[in-house]
Amino acid sequence: MIGFNTDLFTGKTLLITGAGKGIGRACAKLAAQLGANVIAVARTTEDLESLQMTSPANIEIWVEDVASEAFIARLLQLNKLDGLINNVGINRVANLLEQLPEDLDVMIDINIKSLYRTSRAAVSVMQQSGGAIVNMSSQMGFVGSPRRTLYCMTKHAVEGLTKAMGVELAPSNIRVNSVAPTFVSTALTAPMLEDPDFKKFVLEMIPMNQLATPDDVANACIFLLSDLAAMITGTCIKVDGGWTAR
């Protein structure tokens, strides 16, 4: 009988994008603790080097831009890949009529196109022996919210992509799921939550009345990559404290 233990990912190779900070970093650390050979991808060398120091024997670092052809080429050269966490994403917060054309382009490029291209390359490596993919979604992939029209659009796309990939790749023994967090306490969200009115709004929307932590989200991601989730595909775990249940 399998369970969460230090041997859960022994012999398995997992690639995690956006691994330098926040949720991605928490995912990489937990995966390494559970025995995985982790390929941690980010653009900032210092972040990756400090991450690698937490588990030198288990974490390999790639300083790469996931939107680049070089990254895709490097991924395709892997001989083995058992799991992928697509964690890279951005947000451009503004009212609909204030969004710039370049905001639309960059949101689609990073939140949708890079995720699709990374997944496609990973599947090319995984198709020989199977694997699992986790796409980082958001509670905004299920609801709408003011000033987040572009973000909601891209995260709804992530949910659709996850379902379609889950169905198409199931015969190849490749599972695809998503994780949809609420607002997570990170350096990225800290400036937004310094606004007392906005923080009050957020906490009132979360029945559990608290923010998620990176570890909360990492736990769901690592579960979905593991054999504990062997019959789960094409769906989502919402780490949202009940926001979308209202």
208: phi then psi, degrees, rounded to nearest 5: -80, -10
12, 155, 199, 238: the active-site residue: 155
151, 163, 200, 238: the active-site residue: 151
Instruction: Supply the DSSP string of 187-213, one letter for each residue.
Output: TTTHHHHTSHHHHHHHHHHSTT-S-B-
Is 155 one of the catalytic residues? yes
Is 116 one of the catalytic residues? no
- Which element (helix H / strand E) includes 18? none
Cα angle for residues 168, 174, 176 (degrees, 5° grid):
75
Instruction: Supply the DSSP string of 52-66, one letter for each residue.
Output: HTTSTTTEEEEE--T
d(CA 222, CA 68): 26
Catalytic residues: 151, 155
